[in-house]
Amino acid sequence: MNVLLGIGGADDSLDALDETVARAVDAGDDLMVAVVENPESDRVPEELVDAARAALEDAGLPVDVRRLSGDPGSAIVELAESEGFDQVVLGGGQRSPMGKIRLGHISEFVLLNSRVSVKLVR
Amino acid sequence: MVGERVYPETVAAEFPRPPVSFTDGEGRAVEVGAYEQPVPPGAAPAHDESDPPPAERAFEAVVEMYATFDPADRAQGVPPVGETRIREWLDTLLAREGFDVLAWNGDIVAGHATLVPDSASTYELAIFVHQDYQGAGVGTRLIEALLGHGQEHGVEYVWLTVERWNRPAVALYEKVGFETASAESFEMEMSIRLN
């Protein structure tokens, strides 16, 4: 399967990176990691590109990392649709102090606008 | 310090302090009381195993409420399902040193409401009423007593998130004075000023 993982730097997107890389190894998926700028995150894109490259390299997968500019949600949707991906993977939200799950704005946008199936990682 | 969240300029009216006793819409006697945490093992004086101290009994009664909580009433992933997860979640929640109130009908916990502190010295509110006690006015008394309990202890800013389509919950929050702080997401944020 052709998988596009979008990460913006919130903690849940780093969990999604670990899990998606492991899944790609098990399932033999072709995985591309797209790094977007998430205004809700303190991590800078360069840091995320390095983290994604390291994770792919350590797993023995091809290092396919791309930085997307512009609105993060629409950039992920556009890339997924224009390059024929089978699935978009995103972080599955962060927990509030009392444990409620809150989806990030990027996830909400992609869920509502993508024609490609979306997977949220918990 | 207050984060980027928007709060009402006006301080809310004074809420009743727990304990609060009333008869619910079904004629049941209900008492809302503050919940005190059980003393950690070792720190408590020895007691007869067959007669656990009140705080421990209260904790077990809360677990029981969540263990039989209707899964259809879950919101945003809480309460978790299964007793092990419920215990883990409650342990984490109660360890944060917020404020909690319980609605009792005899030995049964009918509802639980909590103020959980966050990193910005504000508090996140959540309320859960067991399905056997919904629609009987328990939620209103429970949330009012929680806000009174928080007011009494100097809590200033309280916020919550609620799924936009959960109209009964939104109506309850508005009734006690919460205002919408943000409605851009699947969940809307509401807030209130207590002091």
Instruction: Say how many domains are in chain B.
Output: 1
Helices (runs of H) and strands (runs of E) counted in chain B:
4, 8
Identify whether B96 is part of a domain: yes
Inform me whether the pLDDT recorded for A61 exceeds 90: yes
Mean pLDDT for B47-55 is 63
Interface test with B, best of A12, A94, A96 (most B CBs within 10 A): A96
Question: DSSP label at A17?
Answer: H
Identify whether B70 is part of a domain: yes
Q: What pLDDT is recorded for position B160? A: 96
pTM of the model: 0.86
Q: Does A103 touch chain B (CB under 8 A)?
A: yes
Helix axes B138-152, B167-175, angle to 10 degrees: 50
Identify whether B10 is part of a domain: no
Identify whether B163 is part of a domain: yes
CATH number of the domain where residue B162 is located: 3.40.630.30
Tell me what percent of chain B is helix, strand and coil, each rounded to the nearest 5: 30, 30, 45
What is the b/e burial string over B27-53, where b = at least 16 CB atoms within 10 angstroms of the residue's CB?
Answer: ebebbbbbbeebeeeeeeeeeeeeeee
Identify whether B131 is part of a domain: yes
B94 to chain A: closest CA residue? A98
Distance from CA of B185 to the nearest CA of A (A): 7
Q: Coil, strand or helix: which one is B51? A: coil
Q: What pLDDT is recorded for position B182? A: 87
Q: What pLDDT is recorded for position B34? A: 95
Identify whether B11 is part of a domain: no
A102 to chain B: closest CA residue? B76
Mean pLDDT for B24-32 is 97
Helix axes A72-82, A105-113, angle to 10 degrees: 40
Give contacts of A105 with chain B, Cβ < 8 Å: 184-185
Q: Is the ipTM beyond the 0.90 threshold?
A: no
* Contact at CB, A99 and B92, closer than 8 angstroms: yes
The pLDDT-based confidence of A104 (bands split at 50, 70, 90) is: confident
Q: Which of A98, A102, A105 sits opposite B116 (nearest CB)?
A: A98
Inform me whether the pLDDT recorded for B104 exceeds 80: yes
Identify whether B12 is part of a domain: no
Structural domain boundaries enclosing B25? 20-193
Identify whether B97 is part of a domain: yes
Q: Does A96 touch chain B (CB under 8 A)?
A: yes
